[in-house]
Amino acid sequence: CFGEKDFRSGLENGILLCELLCSIRPGLVQKINRLPSPIAGLDNLSVFLRGCEELGLKGSQLFNPGDLQDTSIQANLRLERERNVRKLKNVLITIFWLGKASSVCPSYDGPVLNLREFEGLLGKALSCFRMTMPPFICVYFIEPLFNSASQL
């Protein structure tokens, strides 16, 4: 569903995320802004995050819209790579909690979140960072996410 885009760039305009909410609870998203502009993307991300709150997610389970902004220009800096990992982790955590919320939503009869599949997605999404980061980044940022997700 991402086409040739990577995980972050496939979600940055918020369209897929809003479509996901529509499949979980029809009518939750009134309008998806399909204009190819950063403002339209931020609008969709705000709609998505409000929809997540309506489904019961708490603020601590939601990413910040800035977590999906394009950071490719800054990716050469070590500190920016660390921030990118944290931002991607935040997005994945929101998707994880949305999956949990959808499993108890009466209007949703689609697939239920499979924790092993989620961990696989997480591994694929972060694998490009693992190869370019010092080991301490993996230990402090990536591995704790696997551990906390498997305890839920």
Q: Give pLDDT tens digits for 36-76.
A: 999 999 999 999 999 999 999 999 999 999 999 765 555 45
Q: Does pLDDT of 123 surpass 90? A: no
CB atoms inside a 10 Å sphere around CB 108: 16
Q: pTM of this prediction?
A: 0.72
Question: Into which CATH architecture does domain 7-150 fall?
Answer: Orthogonal Bundle (1.10)
In the chain, the N- to C-terminal Cα span, in Å, equals: 27
Q: What's at 33, amino acid-wise?
A: N
CA distance 5 to 17: 15
Residue 46, C-beta contacts closer than 8 angstroms, at least 6 positions apart: 65
Q: Does pLDDT of 15 surpass 60? A: yes
Vertex 107 angle, CA 101 and 152, to 5°: 15
If one compares 113 and 36, the residue with the highest pLDDT of the two is: 36
pLDDT of residue 6: 76
Q: Which helix (H) or strand (E) holds 135?
A: helix 135-137
Q: Does pLDDT of 130 surpass 50? A: no
* Across 136-145, average pLDDT: 42
Residue 139, C-beta contacts closer than 8 angstroms, at least 6 positions apart: none
Task: Report the SS3 class of residue 142.
Answer: helix
Q: Does pLDDT of 17 surpass 80? A: yes
